Amino acid sequence: MSVLANEVLLEMRNITKDFPGVRALDNVSFTLQKGEAHALVGENGAGKTTLMLILGGVHTDYQGQIFLNKRLLKFSNPREAITQGIGMIYQELDLAPEFSVGENIFLGYEPTVRKLGIFRFMSRRRIFAETEKILDGLGFNIPAQAKVGSLSVGDQQLSQIAKAIRLSAKVLVMDEPTARLAYHEAETLFRNIAALKQRGISIIYISHHMEEILRVADRVTVLRDGRDVGTVERRSTSLPEIIRMVVGRKLADGINRPEITKGAEVLSVEGLSKTGIFENVHLRLREGEILGIGGLVGSGRTEVARCIFGADKPTSGKIHVRGRPVEITSPLDAIKEGIVLVPEDRKSQGLILDHTVCANLSLALLRLICKLQFIKFRQREKIAKEMIRALAIRTPSLQQQVKLLSGGNQQKVAIGKWISIKAKIFVLDQPTRGIDVGSKQEIYRLIAGLAQRGSAIILISDELPELIGLADRIMVMRNGQITGEFARGEVNREKLLAAILGHRMR
């Protein structure tokens, strides 16, 4: 438990927040103790982010009260929250990539060396000297003068923490902090969270990774449909109990995928290389087969996927579809061969967020549902309705903007647009990233169903249980090369993680 256990630092009491036509939070209460890591969990749309945006001074129109050190506070803007010791570390890092680490940490609060009339001259020497003291004090091995854009995502995350600490943060809100981190970077983050707690800093930790929650948190508060379901002590609860609280029902244990007979080979990749990124990649894929690819961030997995789909151009290599050599120079070439990609970043690459569910589901169909450059709207709506029903996409209407759907339903739309054109080879890059535990199970069933109907699937994932539970074979990439392969049933988490990290199992 926390080093200053039971001493309440923050209390949010009876918070209610309405948006037009929607009650996002309904009488939610939340407490945070000094030196505590308190996890806030729930499905997408449960109200977690809204509650934290109220705490961070972004949403100011709400009912309820916020107490910090027993003082009633009302923030009018984010700057007021920062000055009171509330540090927000969002999933999308709030850093200027062209500025140095030191300049980012002191941005808006730059020390000056002298003034001349209305002009102030910034002291870079002092910025870097003070930044180095902060980084050394936190144990962060990051150069103060390095450009933030040149750092790994993990070091950028640590820079954001250092920035909040410099601003005397008493409370650090971390929203999906490991979403873009490699395994070793996540381990570094966990160690730093423990160190921050020892310094009396309190952490509010938001994540969809349940096992991560059990590792980091002292207490867990669950939100569901804008209401607080309850708060439990981590030591006295279990993973199934937290999941039951999150989804309101018991989920099936593990990933249950029946063994199916594989068909003919549909895809072969021979000697695929992209200079400086990956080299000499060979893989084969059969009908009904799920081929998993594991590896660290930067191992080359995503780049291989993009080359197979024609989004990037490889330096060398051959691709065969159903035994026939094909030349894929663009995504259109890949789509014509039945190869489709659901990209890692669905929001910027897989969907048009401001467009409707109907429009997104029919994006790949435009050539088929247009006549003389005019869209056949009835046909489009009929196909979209069939996809919504088949994939159980939860949306109030066909005309709902995709950006207003939950992460799980957005991902169903991203996959559904390819199912509608009867694609046969699916490349799925991180298909459950940023998706809550209930929606993950739905995506797993969808992937298993595609394989059962004869589709061939390449599954790229950071989630080891996902790879082990779904894949027939798992290939491991390190430093741009395939370094190992495991058949289904011959690998466990420890063995797979050791292969990914390049460690030998004793």
The torsion angle over the Cα atoms of residues 92, 98, 103 and 105, rounded to 10 degrees, is 10
Condensed to tens digits (0 to 9), the pLDDT of residues 343-387 reads 988 888 889 999 999 999 988 887 777 777 788 888 888 989 999
| Local structure of 317: helix, strand or coil | strand
At 267, is the pLDDT very low, low, confident or very high (cuts 50, 70, 90)? very high
Q: What is the per-residue pLDDT for 506?
A: 47
Element (H, E) at 255: none
- In Å, how far are 84, 337, 365 from 421, measured between CA atoms? 54, 12, 6
Please state at what angle helix 239-247 crosses helix 437-452, rounded to 10 degrees: 90
At 3, is the pLDDT very low, low, confident or very high (cuts 50, 70, 90)? very low
Over residues 72-95, mean pLDDT: 87
Q: What is the per-residue pLDDT for 273?
A: 96
Over residues 473-500, mean pLDDT: 88
| Local structure of 111: helix, strand or coil | coil
Q: Which two tokens stand for residue 88?
A: 């927000």
> Which amino acid makes up residue 9?
L
Half-sphere exposure of 196 (CA within 13 A, CB side): 32
Q: What is the per-residue pLDDT for 254?
A: 57
Architecture of domain 265-501 in this structure: 3-Layer(aba) Sandwich (3.40)
Over residues 450-478, mean pLDDT: 92
Q: Which two tokens stand for residue 111?
A: 């020390």
**112-116 vs 63-68, strand pairing mode:** unpaired
Residue 132 makes CB contacts below 8 A (sequence gap 6+) with 144
Q: What is the per-residue pLDDT for 2?
A: 45
Q: What is the per-residue pLDDT for 119?
A: 61
Over residues 397-401, mean pLDDT: 92
Tell me the CATH number for domain 8-247.
3.40.50.300
Residue showing tokens 């081929």:
291
Please check the confidence at residue 457 and state whether its pLDDT lies above 90.
yes
Over residues 409-419, mean pLDDT: 92
Condensed to tens digits (0 to 9), the pLDDT of residues 146-202 reads 998 888 777 887 888 888 888 778 999 988 888 777 777 788 888 888 988 998 999
Q: What is the mean pLDDT of the chain?
A: 87
Residue 199, burial from CB neighbour count under 10 angstroms (0-12, 13-18, 19+): exposed
Q: What is the per-residue pLDDT for 310?
A: 95
Condensed to tens digits (0 to 9), the pLDDT of residues 441-455 reads 889 999 999 999 999
> Which amino acid makes up residue 187?
E
**With b meaning 16 or more CB within 10 Å and e meaning fewer, what string describes 366-391?**
eeebeeeeeeeeeebbebbeebbeeb
Over residues 300-320, mean pLDDT: 95
At 113, is the pLDDT very low, low, confident or very high (cuts 50, 70, 90)? low
Residue 505 makes CB contacts below 8 A (sequence gap 6+) with 494, 495, 498
| Local structure of 261: helix, strand or coil | coil
> Which amino acid makes up residue 14?
N
- Among 107, 235, 202, which Cα is nearest to 163's? 107
Contact 204, 52 (CB under 8 A): yes
Q: What is the per-residue pLDDT for 249?
A: 62
Q: What is the per-residue pLDDT for 314?
A: 95
Domain boundaries, given as residue ranges, for the chain: 8-247, 265-501
Over residues 12-36, mean pLDDT: 91
> Which amino acid makes up residue 418?
W
What's the rounded Cα separation, in Å, for the pair 110 and 102? 10
What's the rounded Cα separation, in Å, for the pair 218 and 198? 13
Q: What is the per-residue pLDDT for 272?
A: 96
Residue predicted with more confidence, 395 or 123 = 395
What's the rounded Cα separation, in Å, for the pair 492 and 338? 33
- Residue 400 phi/psi, 5° resolution? -70, 135
| Local structure of 128: helix, strand or coil | helix
Q: Which two tokens stand for residue 146?
A: 């390095």
What's the rounded Cα separation, in Å, for the pair 350 and 348? 6
Contact 33, 70 (CB under 8 A): no
Residue predicted with more confidence, 307 or 255 = 307
Over residues 484-496, mean pLDDT: 86
| Local structure of 33: helix, strand or coil | strand
Q: What is the per-residue pLDDT for 117?
A: 61
Give the chain's end-to-end CA distance (angstroms, integer): 34
Q: Which of 134-138, 266-270, 392-396, 480-484 has the lowest mean pLDDT?
A: 134-138
- Residue 139 phi/psi, 5° resolution? 80, 25
At 11, is the pLDDT very low, low, confident or very high (cuts 50, 70, 90)? very high
In 275-322, which ranges are E strands?
Answer: 278-286, 290-295, 316-321
